[in-house]
Structure 1
Amino acid sequence: MTPSAERVATEVELWLDEPRNGPLVVGVCGAQGSGKSTLAAALKAHFEAGHRRVAILSLDDLYLTRQERTQLARQVHPLFATRGVPGTHDVALGIDLIDRMRAEEAVTLPRFDKARDDRSSMGSTVPAGCDLLLFEGWCVGARPQSPAQLAAPLNALEREEDAQAIWRGHVNAALAGPYADMFARIDRLVLLAAPDFKVVRDWRGQQEQDLRERIGRGEAEGSRVMDDAALDRFVQFYERLTRHALREMPARADLVLHLDAGRRLVQR
């Protein structure tokens, strides 16, 4: 395992020894490209090797269907056609899944097909009696901002396409309401802290380059690669909450992993 995975595994071992009913729910928050999925997969392999039953729930797999987001875009704000921010997930489904796993029921976890930009019919079954649930996502555990923080637009996307703050206001209200209810089910919170927001654009660009190479090898049929302009616009959807989490979450997360631009663990 990487030093980051080893650090988290050490803490999770201790957390698993604490008394509770149902699985230990560990939230893993981190900006786009920070390595959340890779970390979760490494932890799953590690604990399963020790005969623990482990499941991974990705916030990305809880996205609303394309039809539901299209309706949201018509009724609330056009920016909700793009998946990503709070308000574009099926929170009720997430809460139901976590609660049923806590009740030691078998569940089928959803899958979202990003190439089709829609919910997939394929899912994975988690048997009853799970020991550890890793709930990972870019805004897992995030808290809402104050009205004063919402007032001024943060980037070109907000200035030009959300001048009245309707979109970001709805995002914030979702965080204060149903998302807070879902995140309250997290037992322990881990933050993968990027050194700054600029590196997030670079990390997301690396993901697009990886996708471009996979398409070239015929491994990602139906996927589309964003050009620089599209990528610059896309990361602006995530900028506000990413910056907010980097400011306020370290003080309350159970474990903070400070990363450098190469996603390497920085000792502090």
Structure 2
Amino acid sequence: MSPEEPIATRVGERLARRRPGEPPLVLGLSGAQGSGKSTIAARLAARFGPSAILSLDDLYRTRADRQRLACDVHPLLATRGVPGTHDVPLGLGTIAAVLRGEPVPLPRFDKAIDDRAPVHTWPRAPRDCALLIFEGWCVGARAQDDQDLTWPINVLEAAEDPDGRWRRHVNTALATDYPALFASIDVLALLMPPDWPTVLRWRTEQERALVRTHGHGAGVMNAAQLARFVSHYERLTRHIWCEMPARADLCLPLAADRSLLRA
């Protein structure tokens, strides 16, 4: 069974109760890299129109902005992905406009060049949108307790963040800036991979697809680079797996082939 089905059931029930003129329903779709969020979001958007999709990945700060963060705060912030590397005001403004029913441009980030796509290429949300799907690897996440940041969780943190300065910056950003970004979510669905090694395998499959589409651009990574890249996400991903299931509207455990283990 596809994890799309229980999500579609919940969304359909909520949309059936939506009155004309009400703001769109906001579905938060959270899941680790490669778990199928984009595919599920596209299918749901086609199923429940008029709909719009906003990906947290499309809200990344520009490459130049992240280079400045790397110089001013910590070198690891040059890598896109963790809280603190997103343009939160851009996300807030986009979501607010969609909620007002405006045909606002939806940001897009080009991972092949590791930078924001030109504004003229951004699609627009439909006017009077009924469903906004906000998807991303840490959508709806909450910050960790300070004491949980003491020890490194992997080789990357031990070697490149031994004093915890990077992970504390990430956690502070998540605690202070991101709650407003997630506040509009009406239904939160969490996709749960079977384990951490599966995340790397799925992310590797994504990278191969990127190469087939774009070739070997600046943002395309080899196996060693991918392993290091996903290590940036391991801490918060594991925290999400522990913390979010108790409060998500839907928690959907996935098998290795991304099928639903149980409803």
TM bin, normalised by shorter chain, reads over 0.9
On the 8 A contact 1:26/1:187 being kept in 2, the answer is yes
Alignment match, 2:259:
264
- 1:23 is aligned with what amino acid? P
On the 8 A contact 1:26/1:134 being kept in 2, the answer is yes
- Residue 93 to residue 225, structure 1, CA distance change in 2 (3 Å): closer
Alignment match, 2:165:
166
**CA apart distance, 1:176:** 0.5
Of 214, 219, 222, the match for 1:227: 222
| SS of aligned partner of 1:107 | coil
Q: Which moved more, 1:167-176 or 1:14-23?
A: 14-23
C-alpha distance after superposition, 1:69-121 (max 9, x if no partner): 11111111000001010000000111111111112222001111111111111
Map 1:127-206; keep pairs closer than 5 Å.
127-206=126-205
Alignment match, 1:65:
62
CA–CA distance in structure 2, aligned partners of residues 225 and 174 of structure 1: 27
CA–CA distance in structure 2, aligned partners of residues 166 and 56 of structure 1: 34
How large is the Cα RMSD of the aligned pairs? 1.4
Alignment match, 1:12:
11
- 1:240 is aligned with what amino acid? R
CA–CA distance in structure 2, aligned partners of residues 59 and 145 of structure 1: 20
- Residue 260 to residue 172, structure 1, CA distance change in 2 (3 Å): same
Query: Structure 2: 5+ residue runs without aligned partners?
Result: none
Runs of 4+ in 1 over 2 A off after TM superposition: 17-21, 208-212, 221-228
TM-score (norm 2): 0.94
Map 1:5-154; keep pairs closer than 5 Å.
5-19=4-18, 21-47=22-48, 52-121=49-118, 122-154=121-153
CA–CA distance in structure 1, aligned partners of residues 136 and 257 of structure 2: 20
| SS of aligned partner of 1:94 | helix
**CA apart distance, 1:211:** 3.3
On the 8 A contact 1:194/1:246 being kept in 2, the answer is no
| SS of aligned partner of 2:90 | helix
On the 8 A contact 2:84/2:170 being kept in 1, the answer is yes
On the 8 A contact 2:35/2:193 being kept in 1, the answer is yes
- Residue 130 to residue 196, structure 1, CA distance change in 2 (3 Å): same
Query: Structure 1: 5+ residue runs without aligned partners?
Result: none
TM-score (norm 1): 0.92
Pairs aligned (count): 258
CA–CA distance in structure 1, aligned partners of residues 65 and 2 of structure 2: 40
On the 8 A contact 1:116/1:222 being kept in 2, the answer is no
- 1:252 is aligned with what amino acid? R
CA–CA distance in structure 2, aligned partners of residues 205 and 82 of structure 1: 17
**CA apart distance, 1:162:** 0.6
Q: Percent identity?
A: 55
CA–CA distance in structure 2, aligned partners of residues 84 and 62 of structure 1: 10
| SS of aligned partner of 1:125 | coil
Alignment match, 1:244:
239
CA–CA distance in structure 2, aligned partners of residues 58 and 96 of structure 1: 14
CA–CA distance in structure 2, aligned partners of residues 252 and 191 of structure 1: 10
CA–CA distance in structure 2, aligned partners of residues 263 and 131 of structure 1: 28
